[in-house]
Chain A
Amino acid sequence: MLIEVRDEAFDPWQELKDYERKCLTKGSFGASANFVGTMRDFNEGNTVTSMTLEHYPGMTEQHLQTIADQATQTHNLLDVLILHRVGPLQPGDPIVLVAVWSAHRAAAFNACREIMENLKSKAPFWKKENLADGERWVESNTPG
């Protein structure tokens, strides 16, 4: 299992490939599911030029670990990888990667969704958007 908050841009597909090669044995899993969240250049009718993500160092990592542990237990996962960006981001930059591995597809699909929803609603991260005419904090996440 790997849970990391990164302050530099990452390539989720490269990370996924490297992690799977390094940490999972070929043939040991029958399903994997992953989610990549990417920064949009629009929100609530405005063009967003860039964004800054803040977190609560310590609590954020601890909370992500708890989410991953719970999902592992509930869905009998074989492995979990969570990477999340903080700091300045540009449109198109990956924000989050969640990847899970399990024996069968139902556990992988369900766990990936569950981890993402829990992360969105409880993990201490905050987005501040830069618009053409100033900046604003994002007050709430989209419902889905």
Chain B
Amino acid sequence: MSISVKFFASLRERIGIDSRELEAADVNTVSDAWLAATGKTMEDNILFAVNQKYVAVDSPVSDGDEVAFFPPVTGG
């Protein structure tokens, strides 16, 4: 099982990780991917995407997926 995890903006700086490849067998959801990548409990106010689409925190992830975590967006 290989999952690519990405972090953006202030979250990337705070956690100190840009991206990470997970090879864990026990990563089944977005929240599992967070824990496996950071080793920390999930922060509040974070947005999640799987394969570049918004999802909920308990959404499933599967082999080859790209999971992204980022803070509230501030474009425009």
Contact = CB atoms under 8 A, between A and B. Distances in A.
Contact of B52 (A62, A122, A140): A62
A138 B68 contact: no
A139 B75 contact: no
Size bin of chain B's contact surface? 10 to 19
Contacts of A140: 72, 74
Interface in B39-76: 47, 49, 52-54, 68, 70-76
Size bin of chain A's contact surface? 20 to 34
A40 interface: no
Interface string A107-139: 000000000100111111111100000000111
Contact of A37 (B52, B71, B76): B76
Most chain B beta carbons < 10 A, residue from A96, A127, A137: A137
Contact of A137 (B49, B53, B71, B76): B71
B10 A58 contact: no
A69 interface: no
Contacts of A128: 9-10
A59 B9 CA distance: 14
User: What secondary structure prevails in chain A residues at the interface with B?
Assistant: mixed
Contacts of A141: 73-76
B9 A119 contact: no
Contacts of A116: 76
B54 A122 contact: yes
Q: Which 4 A-B pairs have the closest CB atoms?
A: A125-B75, A126-B9, A59-B52, A137-B10
Interface of B: 6, 8-10, 13, 47, 49, 52-54, 68, 70-76
28 contacts: A37-B76, A56-B8, A56-B52, A56-B68, A58-B52, A59-B53, A62-B53, A84-B75, A84-B76, A95-B76, A96-B76, A119-B76, A120-B75, A121-B73, A122-B73, A123-B73, A123-B76, A124-B8, A124-B47, A124-B75, A126-B74, A128-B10, A137-B10, A137-B74, A138-B74, A139-B10, A141-B73, A141-B76
